[in-house]
Amino acid sequence: EVRLVESGGALVQPGGSLRLSCAASGFTFGSADMTWVRQAPGKGPEWVSLISTSGRITYYADSVKGRFTIARDNGKNTVYLQMNSLKAGDAAVYYCCTGGYRYWGKGTQVNVSS
């Protein structure tokens, strides 16, 4: 059974930082590109970032470039999203998924508010 379990979401103040984790199991993690997608209330899903199988190549949405960093540890079957300088517009449920969007986690809530 494929599982993707996000964690690390919390309430933070604008300008704060947070690191999300996604623990993967049930497939060959090291052969899968991994993606973060977010969805705010009343809005459609927004692609955030992608990391290649080795971690050598990364991509970011313009809205988060320079503030977020994606990383992975294939030995731990885990992908991370380091989020810095958080803004109110970053508040959303954050999902990790395989690069081709075949599998999704259930998401973790990030709230940014003063």
Residue 45 and residue 64: Cα distance in Å, rounded? 15
At 50-65, the pLDDT tens digits run 999 999 999 999 999 9
66 phi, psi to nearest 5 deg: 90, -15
Sheet strands side by side (includes 78-83): 3-7, 18-25, 78-83, 68-73
At 71-91, the pLDDT tens digits run 999 999 999 999 999 999 999
Residue 100 pLDDT:
87
At 13-56, the pLDDT tens digits run 999 999 999 999 999 999 999 999 999 999 999 999 999 999 99
Q: Is the dihedral of CA 48, 52, 53, 54 positive or negative?
A: negative
